Structure formats: C-alpha cells, structure tokens
Structure 1
C-alpha cells in the first residue's frame, strides 16, 4: 500500500534517522496517500488562496474556491461556522469521541495564552480546536471511499485497473496522445480521445513527466532523455516540517485497556483507535504576532494511551536509528502526551529529481529543510517549541501537574554548555521529520519558466495534458493538503466539463 520511499540523506535535519534519511511514505493504492494519512480535514488560510489569485492564477481566490470545498463536504459535527461547510457532499467530516484525559486541560491552557476555540475551517484561522477528521463513524473516509466506491460499478465510462504501473506519457509533437503502462509483466498503450490527466501526487507525477521528456533540460540531459518540453518540473517543492519529541507527563492516567478492549471500543466508533495516529486537538498560532495575523505554527496533541511513540514505532515508521530511538523507552503511554510542532509556511525549497530514466527506479526526494539563507524556518520552529514549553506555566497544566520530560538525545552537551537556542536547534535537527505534505512540484502559474501548469492545470506548451494533484499548488498552504486536493479536483472537473460543453 506504500511506495516505501526515503528522502535524500541530509546534514541539517533527520539527523537521528538511519543514514540521516527521513522515511517518506506515499500511497500505492486506490485513494493514494489519503488511505494512510492522519485524516485531518483542514483547508488552510483563505489568504493562501487569495495569494494564488493575486499571483496570476485567475479563478483561485478563496471566494471562488469555497463553493468547491462546500460541494464535496458532508459535515457531521454539531457546532461549526455556517456558510463555510457543506452538508450534502460525499466526504464526511466529523469529530471523534470521547475526549482524552488531557483534552480539556490543553484547551484551557491555550485559552490562558490568548487563543480562542474556533472552527478552523470557518471564519477564523488562529485558535484551538478539536481535529476535524475525514471519518465515517469508525471508518476512514478517503477519496476512494467517498468518491469512487459509490459509482465504480455503475459508470459505464469508468474502468479501474489495479496493479498497473504508468511508465510514460505518449507525446506526438506537443500533444499528449495516451499513456504507456505495465500490468502483469506486459506493456500496454491506452490512447486518449480527449485528455490525459496525471493524479499521481507531488512525487510520482513529476517523475512520470520527466521520464516522458517534460522537465528541466539539465535534468533530462543528465539521464539521456529527449527534451520535448523544458519546464521546471520537480522544482519548488515545499513540505511541512514536524518536530514531535515534546513530551509531557501528567497526573491524569488513561485507562489501561487491552487491545481487545480498545478494539471493542473501536467497533462502537469510540476513541482511542478512531484517532488516526492518536492525534486529537490542534492549535494554530502566530509566533511573531500572537493573537493576530496568519498562523506560522500548528500544534497537534497526541494524548494517552497513544500519545508517545514506542521504540519499535519510531524505528519502523520514522526510520530512527536504534540508539536514538532508545529515548522513547523512557515514556509512559498511560500518563505521557506529545505536542507536535509543525512549520506551516517554510521558506526552504526542495526538489524531486530522477535517479535514472527508468521509471521503476525511485525518484530522488530532496526535502532540503532548514536551508533558507536567514534561518527563518528553524527559528520559527524554535519559537513554536518555546510556546509549547510555556504551556507548562499555565494554571490548566499545573492543575494536572503536566511536566515537560522530553529528552533530546544527542544534544545533552549543548544543554549543559550551550545556549537554549543552540540546544533546541540541535534537537530540531535531530528529531524533525516530514509530516508528509509535499506540494508545488508541478505548480500552477502563468510563466513556463516558473511553473508547470496554467490556471486550468493544463501543462504549459502541451495539448491535452493536465496534472491534478498537490503538485499544482502554487505555493505551500498553511495547512494539511488533503482537503485542498479534493477542492482542486472538484474545480478542474468543472473546467473540463465547461471546455467540452458538458456544463
């Protein structure tokens, strides 16, 4: 179900991982990465979309895209900002319950810091909230379940092939004619009467374009691929960086349930196993202008009994070195909880390039975190860490004796002999990883020198070829990309219908 990718080894982040490499899971299944993500439904800031429009992408302002968010959504929570949500779409949005032992203390602590409780997909973007999940009772509601399952057996014009691997877009001159793919060890060619649409995600779509001859000239020449259309494919990649070794211990003890007991709760639609990866609450803050402006940091809580990774999870999921992962042996899953710090508006730019011209060879994913020339990214994350640590001084945290116990293995000498900033910079480089939100590798824009597709997601200087996935996002959004991808797909569906006179 997963491609099993790893990012390129780094000297500035993922230092606690084997070979200094972040694991980088990508969905290899119907529904893509929505099958394995944390199910967070988050649209980001309205101003993100207004920036798209002001940058020359006509039709993508928040006012223009909001109807497409609403169209696909079926919200099932009691309190939300009316006018911002849909109630009749195929994609369910819900809370999970019951709350953990530390949920309300986290809310109160954030309120003491000046944050208010909000619907983060409504009129306010700064504040604290429960996570809005794409969940249907106790089942993940991803793109395959919500959009494909209801029509897969009744649409005569839809055929789904499983275990089929696309290896090339077939181009005749500047026109996309079809796709070559492999299935059951045989090569096939499928011709397009109208268009070819790539929706392979921010990593695989650029790889497929480049092996087909669409991409940066120097990259294609390097692998002896004929250049058919020189475009900045794979460039401008941005991703949200996450630091997750901020662990608190409280005097609130979660019920010590067996796996069987938790599964019985899950069957009833109850937490903790309905919380994907254990997450429960979120807060969006601005570290520079508290209480106003746009969020630059997201805080995500992971409460007991799933609130801390164990050694095995840290090795298998995050690729932590076995020595570094020993830090997780000291945490107690019944009393300890984590608060993740996520960088929402990074300045660092990564890339997707080719390992070879063979489409079977994995692409090269260079995350390039903390590479911005002014160190704004790591400093912003440091300010986010300080904000989290300051929660321990609130009355709400003191009432439950929530004490910071996070151990930053490999940085102890700096704690003794360096500054606080040096210590946390070391910790951030050691334990920060991806939250798996790559975007902008085939980004939208007017200029073929700076972008890959136009405002209708048509590839520049190529006929009958579109890209419709997170890669087309012009610049990284301040939020999780899953909901915006659904919105993009809804909007481009209408563009296609309009073009062919069906709408």
Structure 2
C-alpha cells in the first residue's frame, strides 16, 4: 500500500545508515518516520547464512549490480559494483567484515576542515552500536550490532600466514577494532549464532516495533521536493504509481555513495551543465555533487597448497553435505563465517608513517570460476589459498553522474582508478610486500606451486601490469556527497546538512571526505549514529525557537 500523509522525517534507503537513523529518530515514540526502500525483503536464506553472500553477489533481486564505465588504467575493463537493493542495503549482501578504520583516517577528516570528526570524537559512536561476541559465542554488553570473534570456526591454515608476517617483521593485532589495530590477525564479522547480523537486524527491526515508524519497500525515490530552498518531501514510485510523502522536519538521503548523488542531481542539485543537458531545472549549482568518488582496488594471488584447505572440504559432494548439515544443526563451521578470514592493516615499508595496506588471507581458491560467478561453495578441486592486498588510502578521484532524467536508469560511474601517481606507487609497494611474504620459510613450506600469473619473479613493471589486468573493486565507494566547510568543494557541512538548502541532509558513506583504511560498513554505521545526535539536537533547538516566537 502506498503511503500518504506527512511525516517528521523521511529517510531514503534502509541500509547501514538508514536503519540506524530509523531507530534513533523514532526512539521517543513521537516523531513519525518513513523509510523508503527501493528493494524488497531480506528474509532470504542466502542473506542470513554468512557464506551465502556468494549467491547474492550477482542476484538482481537484492542487488543493483552496477558497473563502471571502462577504465583505461585497468586495461579498459568495467568494474563490477554490487550494491544492496534490499532491506538492510549492502549490509545484507556484504562479506560482513567489521573494521572501524584506523585513527589516522579520521584525523585526516579533521585536517580537511571537519571539526568534531576526529578519532576521539567518533569512537563513542562506534562503541554505541557494538555488542562484542567472544570466540565461545558469549555476547557482552553494548549496542544491538553483533561484532563476533569467529576464530574458533576458522581454518587453521592461517597459522602459516601469521608466521610469514612475523618473518617479514609485521606485527600481530589481537583486535582490529581495539586500541592496537595495526598488524595481521583475524577479522571480526557481523554475525550472531552463525547468522548474519545486518543493520536491518540490529536497528531497523527494533524500530519497526514502534507505531511511529513505517517502512515502504519497492519504493523508488524519484526526486526530493522543495518549497523554495527547503526540502519538504519525496516523490517516489510504488506499484507503478507516483506518490508523494511530505516531511515536516527533514528529508534524509541514506541511499549510498551511488544513489544519493544520483537523487540529488535528479532533484536539481548538482553540476548545472549536467542537469540542463538532461532537462532538469537547476535548483542549486554544485559541481561537488557526484565528485570526489573514491574506492579501494585489490588483487588476489592464488596458490596450490601442500596441506588441506577449505577446498578439500567443500569441493566434494559429501563435504558440502557435511558442512551443510553441520550448519543446519549447529550454526557452526565454514558456512557460518565469511571467506575473508584473516588479514590485517600493515605498512608496506618500515618507513611508512602509518599502515597503508590491507591484507586478506583466505584458505580457499575458486580460480577457475567462470565470468559472472562467485561460487564460494564450489572451490577448486585441489588444496589452495589466496593472499591479497589493497592500498588503504588511494588518492585518485572519480565521479558519479546521471545519464538520464529517468530515475530507473543507473548513473554513469567513472572511478578514475590509478590516475594519481601515488596510487601506482602503492600498487607496486603492495605487490613487493606480498612477494616478500610468499618467499618466507612459512609460506614456501605451504606453497606447492603458484597458480599463474606467478607474482614470485615479477618486476615492478610486471606487478603493475598484472594489477591493471586483474585488479577489481573491493566495493567501498565513498565521497560523492563529501563533507567539508567550503560549499564550493563539498556537498554537506559538518552536521551533514546540504550546503545552501534547508531541511535536507545526506547520511551515508557518500559524505566521507576521504576513504577509511578498510571496510566501509562500520564507519557508515558510526556516521549515522553521530548524525542522529546532530539531527535530534538541531530539531530540539528549532522547536525551542519556534515555541519562543509563538510566545
């Protein structure tokens, strides 16, 4: 049923940020909140089972399945960008790795003029969300989002990776979300008792228990509605009908780094020339809308192993059946965790000022997978493992822009990968670091043979050329509605209000002024927690002012 009437807050998107906002803004039981979600239900087996994200990776029923334009720096290839089109957004289809990022990431935000967003400012908002679960499955005190230590379920192959790291002088971190996040270790993930814990599970479902919250699925936002320069509602499509919902207080875009800038541009907020080219009336000319796009690029190196890996368990039919039965009966085993089991944040050179590489070590290979498949349950028929790297803080900047005034048409995505010389140098440094690791005694004893192309003997030029041919997005787009003090170079201010407009905020990964070192889901949830405090405080101030004027 389509929604009619007025709400205090309209939130576009039920993903990592939108779910948090729905919970926090409705907590008083008074403010009426509407959440619009373009996708449908997340009550799907392959969403709830952790390893099932390999099935949702290309599933158009829950996934926008975006592609970039061909990128010259990566051999003129298109990069595939899965984005959640489902309740919970990308937190329902991601690999569940929970990493806050490094303190240096947020000091960089402050350095860009965003006071109040340093590490000491944001840390309490992480802590507000988190409920830590230890390796025995015991949940501690804290917030509603489960952050689990699943080391007891992980493959023992990781001991070789840790030994190799020690050989090359890399530290060990017991907790990437603790006081010493630098080093190699085991990734914590958003699961509880063997099931995915998405932002919708943690925040949206509790909010929906309140009568003042309404969620409308299969509702595609067309544009923000304005009275003058104040946002007053959203035009959206539901069941083939165009509907309007009005907002008394604020419209909040939490549609993600792809869809939030798209919706602003469709609403007349963005580069004037672009909007006019598509017949859209310009409300606010701002070149920054859709700009400053950043993303992580990574690459995998594949090896046959001298001892059993997950391939040996999950390749044969009887192994699949055993793993499936174990999961159904106990919610434990390899199907209860992410494929990204170990890794870390390390310095590619001892002289590096901070950790500049994120590593992954996975006890499985699916190197022969056909294009368009991610068969995590169908690995190679031999023992194998993957070791990967991604540079943490790329300098290259791209754009996302509409290519039609039709909201059903996806925008044009141009990441501009490797356009900054420092990013090229980082790729070579990352390749050299992995070379050092695979030459250690620990990994030489584990490696039966490399699966081509062999990193082992590559020169700097060959490392770079191989990266251009095989790298891929790690699915962390941010920055397209960037936060900053200057309306000429940013989209939102430090309270996430859109510059030059009233009653409109953007709250999602698109506001990041620069990319965080690792996975972006945790910092997106943090941003929403901090934004909720700001929104509630600003509206309380406005209510007091209105009451004073009436008196």
Q: State TM-score, norm by structure 1.
A: 0.88
Partner of 2:97 in structure 1?
40
Contact 2:225 2:233 in 1 (8 A): yes
Q: 1:407 to 1:48 in 2, by over 3 A?
A: same
CA contact (8 A) 1:100 1:303 kept: yes
Instruction: Map 1:49-448 onto structure 2 (within 5 A).
Output: 49-77=106-134, 87-96=141-150, 97-118=152-173, 119-152=175-208, 154-231=209-286, 232-244=288-300, 246-254=301-309, 255-257=312-314, 258-267=319-328, 268-276=330-338, 278-289=339-350, 293-304=353-364, 307-312=365-370, 314-317=371-374, 332-372=380-420, 374=421, 376-400=422-446, 402-403=447-448, 405-408=450-453, 420-448=459-487
Shift of 1:241: 0.5
Using the TM superposition, name which of 187-196 and 47-56 deviates more.
47-56
Deviation at 1:271, TM superposition (A): 3.1
1:275 Cα offset (Å): 2.7
Match of 2:55 in 1: none
The alignment partner of 2:360 has SS state of strand
Q: How far off its partner does 1:265 sit?
A: 2.6
TM-superposed CA distance for 1:424, in Å, is 1.7
Is 1:483 equivalent to 2:545 in the alignment? Answer: no
Contact 1:297 1:381 in 2 (8 A): no
Distance 2:342 2:387 in 1: 9
Residues 221-276 of structure 1, C-alpha deviations (whole Å, 9 max, x = no match): 222221111121000000000112x0122211134352221112323233322232
Q: What whole-Å deviation, never above 9, does each CA across 1:370-403 have from its counterpart, x for those lacking one?
A: 111x2x2132122212211222222222333x25
Whole-angstrom CA distance in 2 between matches of 1:378 and 1:406? 24
In the alignment, is the contact (CA less than 8 A) between 1:77 and 1:94 conserved in 2? yes
Alpha-carbon distance in 2 for matches of 1:404, 1:344: 29
Instruction: State the Cα deviation string for residues 336-380 of structure 1 (Å, max 9, x = none).
Output: 1001211211111111011111111110011211111x2x21321
TM-score after normalising by structure 2: 0.81
Q: Unpaired segments of 5 or more residues in structure 2?
A: 1-61, 544-551
Once residues 189 and 381 of structure 1 are traced to their aligned partners in structure 2, the CA distance between those partners, rounded to angstroms, is: 48
Residue aligning to 1:323: none
CA distance in 1, matches of 2:496, 2:161: 41
> What is the Cα-based RMSD across aligned positions, in Å?
2.4
1:321 is aligned to none
Distance of aligned partners of 1:349 and 1:388 in 2 relative to their CA distance in 1, 3 Å threshold: same
Q: Is the 8 A contact 1:256 1:334 kept in 2?
A: no
Q: Cα 1:333–1:383, aligned 2, differ >3 Å: closer, same or farther? A: farther
Deviation at 1:12, TM superposition (A): 1.6
User: How far apart in 2 are the matches of 1:172 and 1:163?
Assistant: 26
Structure 1, 444-453 or 91-100: larger mean CA deviation:
91-100
Between Structure 1 and Structure 2, the one with more strand by share is 2
- Partner of 1:474: helix, strand, or coil? coil
Give unpaired runs (5+ residues) of structure 1. 80-84, 319-328
Residue range with higher mean Cα deviation, 362-371 or 108-117 = 108-117
